[in-house]
Structure 1
Amino acid sequence: MNILITGANGFLGKKLSLKLLEQGHELYLLVRSRKRLDAFMQGEGSDFSRQIHILEGDVTEEHLGLNRELVHSLKGKIDALYHSAALLSFDEKDRDKTFKVNVGGTENVLNLALEINCPKVLYISTAYTVGKEIFGAEALYSADRRFVNPYEASKCEAEHLVYTFREKLDIVILRPAIIIGDSRTGEADTNFGLYGFLKGIKILKKRAMRRQDGQFCRIYLDPEVAQNFVPVNYVIDTLDAALIHAENGGIFNITNPNPPLQSDVYEIVKEVLDFPQLEMCVPLSSAEMTSEEKAFHNSMSIFHSYFQRTIDFPSDNTQKLLADAGVPMLQMDRDVLTRIIAGYLLDEASISS
């Protein structure tokens, strides 16, 4: 197939591109600058240069910033389009920009798909369009619910926009939860989500080592709250399965049916980092925290809502999709989670030493 991918230079976009290239597909990768793909083209993508066409453009512009001649040359040529480009900002100050990229950009992508007669669009959203609720569904959520941040709100609005095109295009909505490293290698090319938390813990350890007073470093989290982590290779396998097996209008939660508890993550981090002074406590008022503990928790403030609740994400649609594709559902045990966490912490340690 000939497949167009937006957001091709992102963590997920590069992994998806590599999977599709290995299957023999020809890819049209939309990036704002060719230079942003240099590392990929000189590394993992070097064996597939004949299958890659780089398109310089921007989803916030009409026709994605592509000139008329290029758009005309794509007519009837693209079999499917993965739209993964997004602005991942939780900052209220970025609300207008977030909606411009995540909603306006999605509308531009859908209109281009119509213009070039691309029959199928696979929209990569997020499981957290569920907002502040604790029970999810593989269906559209109401857009007037309460959201944690503008990113969630923008992705929910974009889902509704995508769904209005199902009479004109085959559309699929794919909702990954919190994406972490590869379950086989632990490799992760991101510093967001879990990795921001791990980086903060490393800073706590460095400060504890400088003090050398044996004082505990406390993190305040509910040990019984589960975090819905999904390895990137599982997400990619699901995106790949949707290319052939997802029907028009399908919505798929790419989530973990047995998500690890925060206590599990804590125990693994403490063991991997050899950090006996690390202590998990139930949340307290900030007045009872040390200055270092306050600094850590302030740095994690954008994630506080996710640390405080377990969300139930059904994934029956995804289970059927993967069964049709002959792909097993996710089974992420403690060993897999340890491999992923250690892959980041130990690699970071070797870089900084």
Structure 2
Amino acid sequence: MLLMGDEKMGRKTSFFTGFPGFIASKIIERLMIEEPGMQFILLVQASQLEKAEHQIQTLCQKLFQPPDRFTLIAGDITMPNLGMEEGLLSTLRTDITHVFHLAAIYDLAVPREAAYRVNVEGTRNVNDWCLQLEHIERYIYFSTAYVSGKRTGRIFESELSCGQAFKNFYESTKYEAEALVQAVRSRLPVTIIRPAIVMGDSKTGETDKFDGPYFIMRFLDKFARLPIPYLGKGEGPFNLVPVDYIVEAACFLAMDPIGENKVYHLTDPEPYQAKEVYRLICEALTGKAPRYTVSPSAVASLLAVPAFRRWVMVEKETINYFLLETEYDCSQALKDLQGTGITCPDFADYISIAVRFYKEHRQDHNRTIQIH
């Protein structure tokens, strides 16, 4: 329900892209509690409207909230003015105080054209839309820690363009998109969130897609009865964060004045080595530890064969993230979250919960990533 006249004075109204996606839904759920007067305007692709309506009903029933806190708008970030009808624009320009831009293609194997259209052109359109808003208090853009591409060593939150190459089109287009957002920081109150690889909820294990580290579980499923190998030395850090940490931290940094004009690595400040992550997943899933080591290049060669990667249900681009020699400095995030009680859980403390959820839902096709 759009607010009119005096009703909207002093009222916060958030505008979301990326709903009914998992992280957007979780952020909205938290804000419904923490910001009881906030209205939510959700830009949704026409094909997702039915799913979005069901998700809103679920949230409202769960939290005993009235559905009139929500307005669903059919639109498309790849179009000027986000594909919204002209009649809405004047009202929205005066209502919206917070914009959360999460819509993106996150697939590591995405072709460049599709990734560029959504991630780059879409973000350019969201930027242009935000610049029209009369009362915007914060523009929260969800980037990724992996805009660092193939860089090695310590990566700081203040860094972006360092001449880096990229491992895939997901990374390169998210880099280009963040560069566009960085360019409007002088004209908009921006907060940029760069998560590491996102796991399910640390308390429940809940996730909507079995991608990222869950590809390891898919891989191990196929070989659980055999002696299991390590994938190379795995001496570099493998940075994983549970979604509840991302949600809690992002909501605080988005709504508190401290987060304005900041870039945050929402990464694990003490990540495990890739080898240890693999061992912990293996032990939780199969009950046994890896016993020998194979070359990552050998695994990469197998994953280059379409029939093999479809059989193991693993994207070939995944192997690159086991070879990273990159440390993400998150000093700004730790400083600004100090005293809030919001901290990144230890991977070893929640991996068994993640594995249990995976085992219970691994046959759910809605959580399965299509492998080409």
Fold similarity call, TM over 0.5: yes
CA distance in 2, matches of 1:333, 1:306: 17
What amino acid does structure 2 have at the position aligned with 1:311? T
Q: CA deviation at 1:174?
A: 0.8
**Structure 1 equivalent of residue 266 of structure 2:** 254
Q: CA deviation at 1:105?
A: 0.7
**Structure 1 equivalent of residue 142 of structure 2:** 124
CA-to-aligned-CA distance 1:242-277 (integer Å, 9 cap, x gap): 122344431100000111233333333333333549
**How many positions carry a matched residue from both structures?**
340
What amino acid does structure 1 have at the position aligned with 2:164? R
Is the CA contact 2:229–2:294 (under 8 Å) kept in the aligned structure 1? no
**TM-score with structure 2 setting the length:** 0.83
The change in CA–CA distance for 1:246 and 1:345 in structure 2 (over 3 A counts) is farther
Is the CA contact 1:124–1:174 (under 8 Å) kept in the aligned structure 2? yes
Q: Choose the corresponding residue for 2:123, options 93, 106, 112.
A: 106
**Structure 1 equivalent of residue 246 of structure 2:** 235
Q: Choose the corresponding residue for 1:281, options 293, 305, 309.
A: 293
Determine helix, strand or coil for the equivalent of 1:166.
Answer: coil
CA distance in 2, matches of 1:247, 1:301: 36
Q: Are 1:29 and 2:33 counterparts?
A: no
CA distance in 2, matches of 1:154, 1:89: 12
CA distance in 2, matches of 1:227, 1:275: 21
Bigger Cα displacement from structure 2, 295-304 vs 161-170: 295-304
Q: CA deviation at 1:286?
A: 3.0
**Structure 1 equivalent of residue 324 of structure 2:** 309
Determine helix, strand or coil for the equivalent of 2:139.
Answer: strand
Q: CA deviation at 1:60?
A: 0.3
CA distance in 1, matches of 2:24, 2:296: 39
CA-to-aligned-CA distance 1:17-74 (integer Å, 9 cap, x gap): 1111122222111110311314412423434322111111110011111011111111
**Structure 2 equivalent of residue 212 of structure 1:** none
Q: CA deviation at 1:217?
A: 4.2
Determine helix, strand or coil for the equivalent of 1:286.
Answer: helix
Bigger Cα displacement from structure 2, 116-125 vs 140-149: 140-149
CA distance in 2, matches of 1:277, 1:160: 42
Q: CA deviation at 1:226?
A: 2.5
Q: CA deviation at 1:187?
A: 1.4
What amino acid does structure 2 have at the position aligned with 1:230? V
CA-to-aligned-CA distance 1:130-168 (integer Å, 9 cap, x gap): 110122111241164211111111111111211221222
In structure 1, list runs of 5 or more residues that go unmatched: 209-214
**Structure 1 equivalent of residue 206 of structure 2:** 187
Q: Choose the corresponding residue for 2:237, options 201, 207, 226.
A: 226
CA distance in 1, matches of 2:201, 2:297: 36
**Structure 1 equivalent of residue 23 of structure 2:** 12
RMSD: 2.8
Is the CA contact 2:219–2:313 (under 8 Å) kept in the aligned structure 1? no
Determine helix, strand or coil for the equivalent of 1:17.
Answer: helix
Determine helix, strand or coil for the equivalent of 1:187.
Answer: coil
**Structure 1 equivalent of residue 6 of structure 2:** none
In structure 2, list runs of 5 or more residues that go unmatched: 1-11, 366-372
CA distance in 2, matches of 1:136, 1:277: 32
The change in CA–CA distance for 1:53 and 1:160 in structure 2 (over 3 A counts) is same
What amino acid does structure 2 have at the position aligned with 1:108? N
Is the CA contact 1:87–1:102 (under 8 Å) kept in the aligned structure 2? yes
**Structure 2 equivalent of residue 51 of structure 1:** 69
What amino acid does structure 2 have at the position aligned with 1:7? G
Q: Are 1:88 and 2:106 counterparts?
A: yes
**Structure 1 equivalent of residue 308 of structure 2:** 295
Q: Are 1:264 and 2:276 counterparts?
A: yes
CA distance in 2, matches of 1:89, 1:270: 24
Matched-pair identity in %: 25
**Structure 2 equivalent of residue 197 of structure 1:** 216
**Structure 1 equivalent of residue 175 of structure 2:** 156
**Structure 1 equivalent of residue 191 of structure 2:** 172
Is the CA contact 1:166–1:248 (under 8 Å) kept in the aligned structure 2? no
